[in-house]
């Protein structure tokens, strides 16, 4: 009886693991933009450089390939230090999602955001520059 239970548990675990791996394997980022806002779920003010007069920056991503509900994370880095880790749901095979970061004047420099799957795989990493108004 115990052996049968253990075998059933093992088979269920393997099926779940295979299903999860398959779901994660096809997920990709087809679009990633930094912007100053969103209108109708589309990025507005997209750029790779922002002056520090902008107090909030968005990271917009379009995700494809999920075969079941999963999550991605936007991990924000400044000066190689993690500043935010935002978990976002992905509920269909074509999904738009975004996170945002309030910016401080003293955070001028190069920023990086990584899009990471639920299993820890980095799908895409992009940088933007946040700079003082005096730099043109």
The residue ranges of every structural domain in the chain are 2-131
Residues paired with residue 75 on neighbouring β-strands, in sequence order: 85, 114
Residue 1 has what pLDDT?
Answer: 55
CB contact at 8 A, 86 and 99: yes
Residue 14 has what pLDDT?
Answer: 39
Per-residue confidence of the chain (136 residues) as pLDDT tens digits? 555 544 444 333 433 443 344 345 689 999 999 999 999 999 999 999 999 999 999 999 999 999 999 999 999 999 999 999 999 999 999 999 999 999 999 999 999 999 999 999 999 999 999 999 876 6
2-131: which CATH topology?
Answer: Immunoglobulin-like (2.60.40)
Pick from 45, 40, 69: nearest CA to 59? 45
- Residues 107 and 31: their CA atoms lie apart, in Å, by 25
Alpha helices in 1-136, H assignment, sequence order:
2-25
Where residue 47 falls (left for φ over 0; alpha for ψ -120 to 50; beta otherwise) is beta
Q: What distances in angstroms separate CA 133 from CA 17, 25, 48, 53, 57, one per listed residue?
A: 50, 42, 15, 7, 16
Residue 9 has what pLDDT?
Answer: 42
Residue 13 has what pLDDT?
Answer: 42
């Amino acid at each position: 009886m115990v052996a049968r239970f253990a075998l059933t548990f093992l088979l269920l675990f393997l099926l779940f693991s295979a299903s999860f791996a398959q779901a994660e394997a096809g997920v990709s980022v087809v679009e990633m933009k930094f912007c100053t806002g969103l209108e109708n779920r589309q990025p507005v003010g997209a750029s790779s450089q922002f002056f520090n007069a902008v107090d909030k920056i968005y990271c917009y991503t379009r995700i494809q390939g999920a075969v079941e509900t999963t999550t991605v994370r936007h991990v924000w880095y400044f000066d190689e230090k993690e500043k935010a880790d935002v978990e976002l749901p992905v509920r269909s095979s074509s999904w738009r999602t975004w996170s945002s970061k309030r910016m401080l004047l003293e955070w001028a420099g190069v920023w990086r955001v990584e899009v990471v799957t639920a299993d820890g795989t980095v799908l895409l990493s992009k940088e933007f520059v946040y700079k003082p108004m005096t730099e043109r």
